[in-house]
Structures are given as C-alpha cells and as structure tokens.
Amino acid sequence: MKTESLAVINCSQLVTLAGPERPRAGAEMRDLAIIRDGAMFAREGWIVQTGARSEIEKLIGSDCEVIDAGNRVVMPGFVDAHTHPVFAGNRADEFEMRAAGKSYQQIAEAGGGIKSTVRKTRAASEDELFEASKRYREWFLRTGTTTIEAKSGYGLTLEDELKMLRVIHRLDAETALRYVPTFLGAHTVPDEFKDNRAAYVDLIVNEMIPQVAREGLAQFCDVFCERGAFDVDESRRILMAAKSHGLKLRVHADQLSLSGGSELAAELGAVTADHLEHAGETQISALKSASVQPALLPASVLLIGSQRYPNARAMIEAGLAVVLATDFNPGSSPTPSMLFVLTLASTQMKMSPAEAISAATINAAYSLGLGDQIGSLEAGKRADFVIHDCEDYREPGYFAGIEHPVAVYTGGRLV
C-alpha cells in the first residue's frame, strides 16, 4: 500500500541542487545548495518542501512515513545521460585482448567491437534481450542512478532496432528505473552494407527514422560521427532527417579523432555532444555558441586503456553546462556506476566534487529535457533520491570503488 506522504529527516547534508531553472554553467556548478541537518517532505511521489529538520518536522502528520537518514548524505538520484544498456552477450574476450596489448580500434577493425555485439543482439529474441537487460537495471539502481538515457544501436536493421527500442520501453514501464530512449541506428555500418554505405544511410533516413518517430519509440537520435563509423556529411543527413521528424539530437563526437562532430552538433542545434576526448578550443567555442551541452564519459577512456580525457576544465571555464555519464556498454565502458564516474571526474579531469555532482544530476536532467522534474531536490520535483552511507557529499567520489547507497527511492518509493 502506498503511503501518501513521506518525510526524510536527519540528513547530515541534504544536497538539494536548488537553483535557477536551467542547466548550471561555470561557477554555478560548484553551488550544490546543501542544507545541513536537512529534511524533506513529499506527497504522492513529489517533493513538497525541503528545509531545516525543525521546519519539516512540523509537517509530519499521523499518516506520514518517516525515514531517518541516520545523519547521512541525501542527494538526488544520479541521471546517467549516455548509456547503451540493451545488448546480448558480453565482450569479456575483448577485455582480455586489450590486457594483452590490442587497442579498442584494432579489435573493432578485425570484426570485433560493436559488430560483435550486433551479431549477438540480432540473434536474441525480444524476451531474451529484456531479461538480459534487467540485470543491468539492478546495477544502475544499486549504484544510485534513477534515470538513464538508453540508446539502441546494436540491431542495425529496421526490425532489430525497433526490437531494441521496444525493450527499452518495456524496461521503463515495468521497472523503477526511468529510461529515456534514443535511436542510434547510425552506430556503425553493418557488414551487409560495407560496400554500399550510402544505401545504409538511405535505410536509416527513409525507413528507420520515420518508423521510429511514427511509433513514438525514441525522443532523441544519435550518430557515431567518427572515422570508420559515419563521416560529417553522412551524420548531417541522418540528424537532419531525425530533426525533421521531431527527434532531438545527441552526437558521439571527437572520441577517437577530431571528427567534425562538435561543429556538426553546434550547426544542427544538438542538445549534447558526447565524448569530446579530442575536442580543443575551436570545438569548445562552437559548442558554446550553440549552447550544446558536453557529455563527458571518463569511464570509457579509462576502460579502453586510454589516457586521453576530455578537457573538462576548459569546458567549465568556457561556461558550458557539462554533463557526466557512464557510457555503459559491453565494449568501451562496461560500468553502470556514476560513483566511479565521479571518482574519475575529480582525479583525471580535475572537476571538483561539487562540479561533478552537478554534472551527474541537474545538468544531465536538463540534457534529457527533464530538468523540470528530476536532477534536484526541490518542491515540485519527483522524489527520486538516494541515501549515501557518508556524512559529506565529497565522499561518494573520494572513497572509491565501493557502493555508498544504502537506500534508493524513485517517485517516493523504496526500490
């Protein structure tokens, strides 16, 4: 039975991230609007008020469920704005090959990489994919993430892409984790089109995008703009078609080389440009001129064994509303943990713990078009929050490699 109202008391720090109703840029990213000895009151899954414990305790009636946070940190659930969470099989063999000295690109060029997951995902039924993906859903929730963006892109036929997107919808409908679907038919050119790339782009533009849009299966369209995947002209055709069908845009840009992806994201008004390991001053100013949010994925850098992280400091100094995400996928980034990403953001990209938390919550929420509902703990937003087993908001990134969440709530319900 659902309790109507809920109070969370005894929070050493209630990390609210309350602030202006837009993504946070520059110095704003360092202001988490923390309430010490804070408390929160929610009704029917929505936050009604946050404040000092003494204020909130006055609202507690006899029917109210009271959660004692035990003098721990309470913060919004993480919003992971870049994931590939639906796939069959895994690529532990490639993990071992990289340990033996092969690079991510060499493995991909030899027919492994994305294509190897495509083969397995095509062979799986919709139910099998759904079952496999439920396991990862648990991992996201356990590490304190309550909303994820979820891409297709391991089907690469009309039917298999639709299958992936339907699985994402089922996961969203039947589970506590919220999924925001993105169509990524342009993840790589499948083998059957390798001598006729233009025909695959035609298929995406003329068949896949119209059908995905017609069935309302995705909110965003993404393209892997990279040497070996899709060049700028191909990417532009695909993204323009998506835009004309009402999809919003995200771009995998400047990951393995300077691909032109950042400039394209700016030209087309994409919401995010993601990766950006190779982006420099020119790319950063292009993103700034079009208010594109950079989505940085440091786990994918570390886990392919690279040392080339995106220049987060330059992006923050330029006034960009930086987002952090896991890039969870079976190849380049097999981790669902935003906690791990916080650690990497501070140690490898020199983001302060506060900047990293803003990037992992409120800024990510805005990048998904959900800034008015999630990403901060404020009146009128969903009661998606996590009790972390620590007293200070810096500890989740600092004490590395352990799971801090002791309780995760979505819409005011314990997961």
327 binds Fe ion (CB under 5 A): yes
The binder of ligand NIG chosen from 113, 260, 298, 412 (CB under 6 A) = 113
In the complex, least distance from residue 297 CB atom to Fe ion, rounded to whole angstroms: 7
- End-to-end C-alpha distance for the chain, whole angstroms: 14
- By a kind-dependent CB cut-off of 5 to 8 A, residue 178 interacts, out of Fe ion, ligand NIG, none, with none
Select the span of 70-78, 308-316, 331-339, 370-378 touching ligand NIG (CB under 6 A): 331-339
- Which letter, b or e, does each residue of 273-296 get, where b requires 16 or more Cβ atoms within 10 Å of its Cβ? bbbbbbbeeebbebbbeeebbbbb
With beta carbons less than 8 A apart as the criterion, state whether 168 and 150 touch.
yes
> Does residue 84 bind ligand NIG (CB under 6 A)?
yes
Q: Is 149 in the site for ligand NIG (CB under 6 A)?
A: no
- What are 7's two structure tokens? 């109070």
Which residues is 169 bridged to in the sheet?
A: none
Alpha carbons 257 and 246: distance in angstroms, whole number:
30
- Our finding on whether 346 is near ligand NIG (CB under 6 A) is no
Beta carbon nearer to Fe ion, 51 or 185: 185
Contact with ligand NIG (CB under 6 A) among 327, 355, 378, 384:
327
Range list of H helices, 143-231 = 158-174, 197-203, 209-214
Q: Which of residues 278-317 bind ligand NIG (CB under 6 A)?
A: 300
- Measured from the CB atom, the residue of 95 and 193 that comes closer to ligand NIG is 95
Cβ-contact 248, 277 below 8 angstroms: no
SS3 316: helix
* Of residues 259 and 346, the one with the C-beta less far from ligand NIG: 259
**């006055």: which residue's tokens?**
58
The answer to whether 332 contacts ligand NIG (rule: CB under 6 A) is yes
Binding residue (CB under 6 A) for ligand NIG from 98, 178, 248, 252: 252
**Which amino acid is residue 251, in one-letter code?**
V
Q: Which residues bind ligand NIG (CB under 6 A)?
A: 84, 113-114, 117, 224, 252, 255, 300, 327, 329-333
Give contact residues for Fe ion (rule: CB under 5 A): 327
